[in-house]
Structures are given as structure tokens and as C-alpha cells.
Amino acid sequence: MTADSTVPPQRTLVDEMRRLAAGLAIEDRVRLLTGATAWTLHELPSIGLRSLAVSDGPIGVRGTGDSLPSAQMPAPSAMAATWDEDVLGALGVLMASEARRKQVDVVLAPVVNLQRTPVGGRHFECFSEDPVLTGRMAVAFVRAVQGAGVGACVKHYLGNESETDRTSYIARIDRRTLREVYLAPFERVVLDAGVWTVMAAYNGLDDGTESAPATEHHGLLTSILKQEWGFEGLVMSDWQATKSTDESALAGLDLVMPGPGGPWGEALLAAVRSGRVPESAVDDKVARVLAVAQRAGALSGRPGQVEPYRVPGGLPGPDAPAVRGLLRSVAARSTVVLRNENAMLPVAADAVRTIALIGDNALDPFVQGGGSAHVVPPHQPDLPAALREAFPTAEVTAHPGGATRRHIPLALYDVVPGGFKVRALDAAGAVLEERHHDAPWDGWVRAVPTGTAEVTVGADLRLAEPGRHVVELCVVGAHRAYVGQDLVSASDHRAGSEVVLDGSAGHPAGTSHPVDVASPATVPVTATLQVVDAAGFGRFARLEVRYRPPSKAPADDELTAAVQAARAADLAVVVVGTNPEVESEGWDRRDLALPGAQDELVRRVAAANPRTVVVVNAGAPVLLPWLDEVPAVLWWWLPGQEGTGALADVLVGAVEPGGRLPWTLPASAEDVPVPDAVPVDGVVHYTEGTDVGHRAWDRLGHSPAREFGFGLGYEAWEYGEVRAGAWSDSAGVIVTVEIANVADRPSREVVQVYLEPPAADPRRPVRWLGGFTGAEVAPGERASVQVAVPPRAFQVWDEDGPGWRTPAGRYRLRAGRSSRDLRVTTVVDVPPT
């Protein structure tokens, strides 16, 4: 799949749309500025406008309520680990194809907030801790999506680097830091990719000149975005982020989502009629909506006629070979080699007879994070099957090694063979609808009929063996839930949209109940549930039924069995990591430790088998105290639907794991420069200034476990001559680096160039990433790699002067394999301007 990445001119189209908007009744114009539903905008047949549809999209197109599976991509942090804009382009084209297949016009992606702290709940949804890497990955992605005729929505604008109190805190960021760090990726996506839409964040921003919610921040939305950058796209709010009428309308917000309802509508109409909000402001907002509609093919331009939405024929689905092949390749290429002593990896497919696959994450891989990034893939991961395919002559055994989650598993078919009966009842108790769900069931009851007052759920648990069974009921909102005749969980608190915003709807708290039986028995589970009215997020009921049998081995016994299996195997593959209870939208992590006894599991398995490979299945940094004690370690990310096959490819060397860390891996929690982002008196203080991520590690002189940009791959590289071209005010400088692949197989190197300023400056980083280039080199061959370092890499924001300026002097340009493995140095003299 290919796409034209040319960014079409915007101003002419928006001016044309302003003329069209001016001819509409004021009631129609205002109506267009609030969503019609959670995921759609209003239609206006009189001008040929059909309804636009938007959808969540960081790792796949969820859709607008359909049940169709989606192509599930690796998490954005994995995408960025490729350091490859061509890969992001290919994923962007796939995203656009999926959007067309699901009749979606605008995908709510990418996220270009920075990974300021490793405990950020949506860390895995962001590309990097670095503004340069983030900006380049985002630009490539947006160009590809929009080149295929689907809009992108870059988010969350701005200062949304934390989930704790995310709907209310104020991010306090000085203007220099704002410009040089946090605005930088947004600026690149607006200016270099011509993004169609921008999403205003939940939180507020205080930049020293204005303190306001992001949806009401005139400096952000109008002064910088629309006036300085010339953005003529559409600014929409995050879902339910808009709390005001006049303030948000005057600040530059264009569209309130979701709908119906919200603070605009009739209130905005009244504000216009009273003169508090100029009618011209409404015209500008409507023009921006219509311009996006025109670009997406949703505006026919013929009064009284609406072009039907046609999905182009031949679009591949998520299970198509081309799609699976692309996602498998990306997941493999993003994998980072953290350690590979004595070239233990790759392992020849015929070199082992027995493999012990160990770990809770090996049996149930964590392939996507929680929250709005979640999609339903076409198939479930099966790592044992992938290894058996990759090692056809080996016996592969699988061992959990101990539980890592707070909750026990969902009840499976063997426990609930009859499935779950769900009924929607009106206020009089009459049945409006009845549904049946096979086990395992995720517990969501969505799209309840109009008039539903409550939902009932019933199931019969088949307890097939004597002993103590454990049933766990996880419920949202007001409810009564029984196991047999026992009232296990009850609440009169009626939940609202806050359970979506804080993540508790996705991961409800649970109540465990033991059931002792002397012989096989059947025990009913029944519950009456509140229908949660979550406004624009929809109406739903929620009950998870989880189950653990008496025969489930204690964690200590599982760990011992895993160690015994490792001792008897030719190769031990231990998969450790996080899970949906740890990494999700809605909350920040409490710490960086692996959940459960996974550190002990690694150490005991490695002691039992010297041929141990540890695979880390996590999107964000975790502490690995044994990292330099085991032979081989791979970082596998949240790899998406084809991750298991990709890992098998990496282990046998079918694909080189050429990933480079897009963030810094800490060695200890005490060394982390920004250990959390918890608001103090409602404010998150960005006191580190421009020293974000690896820049802060360099400033403090701390030694991470693995630095930003690190990745061994499977090959070896030598760096030779380096030279810098002449300085240009318009183009910056080109750095040429000679490299050689001194190994015996083709490989890809990422040459990274870092800048050091002419003189020490406490407000400038010690060094920072200026540019990078990837190069494919054959074994034994040399390559001359050119790395462009643009003028902006040298510039600083002068808060008291004209804005951007370039300090003169001699800059050191250091090139290498990572932020700490800098092998060659040159200089460039920047003259006074």
C-alpha cells in the first residue's frame, strides 16, 4: 500500500468554506460545532454535508461502535523504537485503509506528548521522551494517513504528560521550555505534515502569561497554533474536556466532543445573539469543520444532495496476509537487544531439542495497553504455537512461573458452558432485550436499548472438583451481585462518566468469594446492574465474572515447576512484563517494579539454565535488577496482533531485532529525574525545564541501565571519519559519518548525532539529539551516512526578545550508536546573526 504524502494547501480551501458557512442559518452553524454522537458530527443535507465519523486510533481503528475486528499495531513506543520513518509511513497507510474499511474519516492519532516520567499511564501511547524523535515519527505517520485521504488528529495539546487528576491539573511550563520541548512535536506536525485536526487536552496550562484549561487557552489555540503557525485545520476538544461556553469559543476551540449536549449548543447560540461571541468566530469554526469534511470526501458541494459514503473495494482486513506480514515485520524490527553475551542470539532452529517457555506473560502476552488505545484484534496471541512453528524439531513446554496480576482470570467455557444471559429491563421490570454471551466474556453490556432502567446478568458455574473455588465479581456502579444465595457485592452509588475518565470502568475493583464444595456442583451467579449514563461515552453496564479452581497451583509451586522445567531444557525463554492492570489510560503507575515475583523467577531460571533468554513484554520502562546477570535480554514492547510470530522470528534470526530505545531505561528508581507527575495543589511543575528524558540523565550524571538510543542488534559496527558541511541559515548542517558493518549478515544501523553548545548554559541541555539517519549495509561493506541537523536544533527561544534565535559559536557534533555511545566528533562554527 502506498500514499501520496504531499500536503495540499489549506488556506484557499478554508477561505472557500468561510464563504459557504456565511450563507447558513446561525442555528445550523452552531449545531455543526458539537458532536451529534460520541463519534460522529452532524450532517447538513442542504449543502451536501454527510456526517463525519471519528475514531480512536493510536494502535488501530476501533470504529464507531461496530464489532468488526481491527488491525492491532504495535504500541507507539514500539513504532518509535524502529527509528524508521518509512515504517511509520507504512503503518500510516494501513491506518488509513482500516479507517476507510470502518467508514471513519478522522483517526484520533498520533499522541505526541512526551514521556516526561516513566510512570506515566499512557507512556506506551507516546513515541518518545525526545521531541526530535517524536516529531519525525509523527510527521511520517500523519503524512501517510492523510495522503490516503483520511484525517489525523494530533493530541493532546498540551502538557498532558500525566494521568493523575488529568481532567483538572494545571501544567506549569515556562515559555522557553514550552517552545523548545513540548510544543516542538506539535509544531512539526502542523508545519511539516499539514495535520487536519488538533485535540485540546483535558488539563490546563500556565506558561507565565496565561493560565487556563487547554480548551480555553487563547495563547495556545489562537496566538501560537492559528496565528503564528498558520494552522487552518480544526481544533476539537478531548471528550468532555470543554467546561465553558464563552471562554472556550473565544479562545479558538472549534468543535466540542462528544455529543449530543455539552456547553455549546443553545448556550453558544445565546452568546452569539447577545454579542458575547462574534458571529464571525462561529463562521471561522464552521469553515474549519467544512474544510475537514471536504478533504475527507464528506462534502459534495451540491445543495440538497449527499454523496454516499463508499468504502473502496479491495481494502485488506486485519487478517489479510499483507497486513499480518507488515505488522509481524514491524514488531520484530522494533524489538531491542539489551544484552547478548557471547552472541547467544540468534538460536539456530535445529540447535535445540527442548525449550521451556516460562512466565505469566508467555502464556498470556500483553500485546496492547488499556484505555482508548484498545482494539479487538482478529486473533489472540499464542506464543507456544509460534515457537513450535519456528523450532519445528523441538519440544516446547509452557509454564506460568507464578501469577502477576491482582485479579484472577475470567471464567472460561469449561466453568460457564451455558454462557451468560443478559437482560435489559425497563422501570417496570419488563424485558426490553435479551442477549447471550459465550464464556469467556469481558463483562461489557453496551448499546443498551432506550428506556433500559437496569440490566440483569445470570450464569451457572460448573464446579467440577471438590475443594475451595474462588469467584471474583468486578462491578461498576450501583448493583447487587450474588453467588448462590450469598450477597457478594453491593453498592448504591450510581456511577457516571467519571468511571470512563479515571479508567475504573475498564478495570473495575473486585470482590472475591470462596465456594467450598465436597463434590461436583452447579452454583448460579446473578446480578442486577445500574446502566451507567456516561454522557458522550455512551450507556453501558459492567460486570466481570472471574474464577480460580482448587487445582490452581500456588504461586510458589508454579515458580518451582518452572525452574525444574528450565533445568531440563536446552533453552529457557522467560517472558516477564507488565499487564493491563499496570499500563493503561486513566492512572499513572505506582512504581517501576515488575509485578509479582518475576525478578526472582528470572534469577532462579538463569541459575538453573545458562542458556536463558529473557524477553521483556512492557511498553514503558521497568526495573531489571538482573539485566547484566543473564545471557540475553530482549525488549519486546506491547507488540500487537503479530507479536508472537515476530518474537519467534527474532529468536531464530529470521529478522534482525534492530530496535533502539526511544526512552531511557533506569537502573534504579532513585535515579529517575522525574519520578512522578502527581499534582501539588492542583499544579504539575515542570521544574526540570528543557532537560527532559536523556537530557536530564546527562545533566545529573546518572548512569541508566540502558541509555536513550541503545540497541545492540545482532551485528557489529565500526565508525570511521566524520565531517560537517558548511553552516547554512536555511538548512543547518549536514554531518557525514563513515560506518562499516563488520559482521557476517546484512544489518541496519541508526547513526545518531548529538549537539553540545559552545559554552555551558544552565538553561540549555548538556547535549541533545540533533538528527539521525538509518542505513542498511551489507556484511563487510562500508557506507557514507548523511545526517541532516536542521537550524532549529541550534536555536533557543528568547522569552524577552524576538523569539527564536541562533546563538553563535563553535558547536560540537558527536555521532554514535546512542546518547552515551558517541564514537566520533566534529565541529561546526555558527556565525553571529
For the stretch 50-109, pLDDT in tens is: 999 999 989 999 998 777 899 999 999 999 999 999 999 999 999 999 999 999 999 999
Mean of the pLDDT values across residues 236-243? 96
End-to-end CA distance of the chain: 45
- Kindly indicate the confidence band of residue 3, based on its pLDDT and cuts at 50, 70 and 90: very low
Cβ–Cβ under 8 Å, residues 812 and 825: yes
Mean of the pLDDT values across residues 612-616? 98
Is residue 449 predicted with pLDDT exceeding 80? yes
Q: Whats the size of the chain, residue-wise?
A: 833
> Does a cis peptide bond (omega within 30 degrees of 0) precede residue 312?
no
Is residue 27 predicted with pLDDT exceeding 90? yes
Q: Taking each helix axis from N to C terminus, what angle separates 265-274 and 279-296, rounded to the nearest 10 degrees?
A: 140
Strand partners, 736: 723, 786
Give the residue range(s) of CATH 2.60.40.10 domains in the chain: 715-830
Predicted pLDDT at 6:
44
Cα Rg, the chain, nearest whole Å: 27
Is residue 2 predicted with pLDDT exceeding 60? no
Cβ–Cβ under 8 Å, residues 737 and 788: no
- Kindly indicate the confidence band of residue 314, based on its pLDDT and cuts at 50, 70 and 90: low
Is residue 198 predicted with pLDDT exceeding 90? yes
Tell me the CATH number for domain 323-407+554-663.
3.40.50.1700
Cβ atoms within 10 Å of 246's Cβ, excluding its own = 16
Predicted pLDDT at 312:
54
Cβ atoms within 10 Å of 779's Cβ, excluding its own = 12
Of the CA atoms within 13 Å of residue 367, those in its CB half-sphere come to 28
CA–CA separation, 132 vs 360, rounded Å? 36
Mean of the pLDDT values across residues 3-18? 64
- Kindly indicate the confidence band of residue 405, based on its pLDDT and cuts at 50, 70 and 90: confident
Is residue 606 predicted with pLDDT exceeding 70? yes
Predicted pLDDT at 303:
54
Mean of the pLDDT values across residues 575-598? 94
Give the residue range(s) of CATH 2.60.120.380 domains in the chain: 420-548
Predicted pLDDT at 371:
85
Model confidence pLDDT, tens digit, residues 804-833: 999 999 999 999 999 999 999 999 999 997
Cβ–Cβ under 8 Å, residues 617 and 577: yes
Predicted pLDDT at 800:
87
How much is the mean pLDDT over the chain? 94
Mean of the pLDDT values across residues 111-133? 97
Is residue 8 predicted with pLDDT exceeding 50? no
467's CB contacts (< 8 A; 6+ apart) are 516, 517, 549, 550, 551
Residue 181, amino acid? V
Residue 300 C-alpha cell reads as 459534495
- Kindly indicate the confidence band of residue 730, based on its pLDDT and cuts at 50, 70 and 90: very high
CA–CA separation, 86 vs 74, rounded Å? 15
Residue 532 C-alpha cell reads as 451507567
Stated pTM of the model: 0.93
Predicted pLDDT at 301:
66
In the chain, % of residues over pLDDT 70: 97
Model confidence pLDDT, tens digit, residues 212-228: 999 999 999 999 999 99
Sign of CA dihedral 546, 550, 552, 558: positive
Give the residue range(s) of CATH 3.20.20.300 domains in the chain: 11-296
Is residue 143 predicted with pLDDT exceeding 60? yes
- Considering the four listed CATH numbers 3.20.20.300, 3.40.1010.20, 3.40.50.300, 1.10.1740.10, the one that applies to the domain covering 11-296 is 3.20.20.300
CA–CA separation, 403 vs 373, rounded Å? 25
432 membership: H or E segment, kind and range? strand 431-437
Strand partners, 463: 521
Residue 789, amino acid? V
Predicted pLDDT at 345:
97
Predicted pLDDT at 9:
47
Tell me the CATH number for domain 715-830.
2.60.40.10
Model confidence pLDDT, tens digit, residues 486-509: 999 999 999 998 898 888 888 898
- Kindly indicate the confidence band of residue 308, based on its pLDDT and cuts at 50, 70 and 90: low
Total H helices, total E strands in the chain: 19, 35
- Kindly indicate the confidence band of residue 1, based on its pLDDT and cuts at 50, 70 and 90: very low
- Kindly indicate the confidence band of residue 552, based on its pLDDT and cuts at 50, 70 and 90: confident
**215-224, 280-289, 300-309, 533-542: range with lowest mean pLDDT:** 300-309
Residue with cell 440490566: 455
Give the residue range(s) of CATH 3.40.50.1700 domains in the chain: 323-407+554-663
Predicted pLDDT at 506:
83
Is residue 133 predicted with pLDDT exceeding 80? yes
Mean of the pLDDT values across residues 651-667? 98
Residue 709, amino acid? G
Cβ atoms within 10 Å of 94's Cβ, excluding its own = 25
**5-14, 76-85, 758-767: range with lowest mean pLDDT:** 5-14
Just list the catalytic residues. Answer: 238
CATH topology of domain 420-548: Jelly Rolls (2.60.120)
